Amino acid sequence: MTLNIGVIGCGAIGQDHIRRLTRTLSGAQVVAVTDINPQLAQDAVSSYGLNAEIYSDGINLILASDVQAVLVASWGPTHEEYVLKSIEQGKPVFCEKPLAVTAEGCKRIVDAEQAHGRRLVQVGFMRPYDDGYRALKSVIDSGTIGAPLMLHCAHRNQSVGERYTTDMAITDTLIHELDVLRWLLNEDYVSTQVVYPKKTRNASIHLADPQIVMLETVSGVRIDVEVFVNCQYGYDIQCEVVGEKGTARLPDPPAVALKNAALHSLPVMTDWKERFIASYDVELQAFIDGVGAGALTGPSAWDGYSAAIAADACVLAQQSGKVERIKIAERPTFYSN
Ligand code: NAI
Ligand code: ISE
């Protein structure tokens, strides 16, 4: 059976998801698109040769009788309304991060989904599908390096636009670490603090860049994440786990080591779409397959809610300069797969 998907938001990741749904993955087709910029919706239809209806807005797209599942890739503040409407209609929904821009918004989604009685939401946290992170988790779970004590991580982007603000370092960027690190360690966070190193001259006047976010987990693991979104040299994701008996490091993507003109070099990626291209494929295929099987297994609304609670505390810590508590409730059995 082919799953008919409607896509809301045809910008950078919306178009990329339409490309993979159309050319790479199996079991789904895009039958409806919308964007507040109608030209982008039209471009998506033309670029990928879609046989899809262009809707004037997301709500009408969700209500369309031939749309069986929804993919939300519009701007963050619009996500909550579309996810709630999809749940109301009993339609599975793949929602890009963030699930909602506040923890309260995520909670409304969690409540609506539980009231519906079955999981309908998958959040676009793709890193748990990345081969490197999965290999790292296997090493941790095997006990080879003993109990994890510390994590040293970095999330570096080449540059960001003028509209990127200090809080977005948390809500747009760190949010990936907030999700993947609690999955990696299988435990939640209890506190956070944010400190600001010397500011780079390459950041806009209103942006504090870089930042270091320090997290503590329930069992006392200490995590530092450097978020540096104008690092200039590339898109670079790092994660080293220090355990009682050894260390384990997230591998860089495979690349050809070049020896030339008296230099030994490895390329560094610059585009997040390329760095995690395989994980985006796998997460979306998992959504299609999960809908087909009647059981979604990917990052849930609860994961989106938990990351949002941690993000809210990190934004508070950015402003207060103090250690702020993170209070994540126990995972309900509804979400325990
Ligand atoms: P973008 O700005 O390139 O695209 C967003 C599109 O949504 C724009 O074309 C805009 O016109 C459209 N849009 C905004 N509000 C709308 C509405 N109410 N109805 C219909 N269309 C609407 O942004 P980008 O980079 O594609 O990000 C979109 C979302 O995906 C964001 O939430 C972002 O955080 C997330 N994202 C996730 C990534 C990941 O690694 N999982 C990577 C990049 C983005
Ligand atoms: C972007 O919004 C994403 O979600 C990418 O995955 C992330 O790595 C990048 O820093 C964000 O700007």
Same structural domain, 42 and 187: no
Per the structure, the complete domain to which residue 191 belongs is given by 128-271+306-335
Same structural domain, 251 and 192: yes
As a whole number, the mean pLDDT across the chain is 97
Same structural domain, 165 and 116: no
Q: What's CA 299's distance to the chain center, in Å? A: 9
Evaluated on CA atoms 134, 216, 235, 71, the torsion sign reads positive
Same structural domain, 327 and 199: yes
47 CA to middle of ligand 1, Å?
18
Instruction: Please report the atom of ligand 1 found closest to the CA of residue 79.
Output: 32
Same structural domain, 60 and 156: no
235's tokens:
């898109």
Same structural domain, 59 and 184: no
Same structural domain, 284 and 328: no
242-300 pLDDT tens trace: 999 999 999 999 999 999 999 999 999 999 999 999 999 999 999 999 999 999 999 99
192-215 pLDDT tens trace: 999 999 999 999 999 999 999 999
* pLDDT of the residue at 103: 96
The phi-psi region of residue 234 (left if phi > 0; otherwise alpha if psi is between -120 and 50; otherwise beta) is left
Pocket test for ligand 1, best of 37, 40, 43, 74 (most atoms within 8 A of CB): 74
Q: Return the ligand number nearest the Cα of 81.
A: 1
Same structural domain, 293 and 154: no
Q: Indicate whether 98 pLDDT > 80.
A: yes
DSSP-derived secondary structure for 220-264: --EEEEEEETT-SS--EEEEEEEESS-EEEPPPPP---EEETTEE
H or E, element range at 289: helix 277-293
Same structural domain, 167 and 262: yes
Q: What is the CATH number of the domain that holds 219?
A: 3.30.360.10
Q: What is the CATH number of the domain that holds 100?
A: 3.40.50.720
Same structural domain, 251 and 284: no
pLDDT band at 40 (very low <50, low <70, confident <90, very high): very high
100-109 pLDDT tens trace: 999 999 999 9
Q: Indicate whether 337 pLDDT > 80.
A: no
Same structural domain, 142 and 189: yes
| Percent of the chain topping pLDDT 70 | 100
168-186 pLDDT tens trace: 999 999 999 999 999 999 9
* pLDDT of the residue at 44: 98
Number of domains in the chain: 2
The mean pLDDT of 14-33, rounded to a whole number, is 98
241 CA to middle of ligand 1, Å?
32
Helix (H, G, I), strand (E, B) or coil at 198: coil
55-90 pLDDT tens trace: 999 999 999 999 999 999 999 999 999 999 999 999
* pLDDT of the residue at 253: 94
288-333 pLDDT tens trace: 999 999 999 999 999 999 999 999 999 999 999 999 999 999 999 9
133's tokens:
């992170």
pLDDT band at 47 (very low <50, low <70, confident <90, very high): very high
Q: What's CA 20's distance to the chain center, in Å? A: 17
* pLDDT of the residue at 270: 96
Q: Indicate whether 32 pLDDT > 80.
A: yes
Same structural domain, 267 and 314: yes
Is the CB of residue 209 below 6 angstroms from any atom belonging to ligand 1?
A: no
Task: Give the number of other CB atoms < 10 A from CB of residue 278.
Answer: 15
Per-residue buried b or exposed e for 48-69, using 16+ beta carbons within 10 Å of the residue's own CB = bebebbbbeebeebbebeebbb
* pLDDT of the residue at 1: 86
146-168 pLDDT tens trace: 999 999 999 999 999 999 999 99
12 CA to middle of ligand 1, Å?
7
85 CA to middle of ligand 2, Å?
26
Pocket test for ligand 1, best of 35, 72, 160, 287 (most atoms within 8 A of CB): 35
What is the spatial distance between Cα 140 and Cα 184, in angstroms, rounded to a whole number? 8
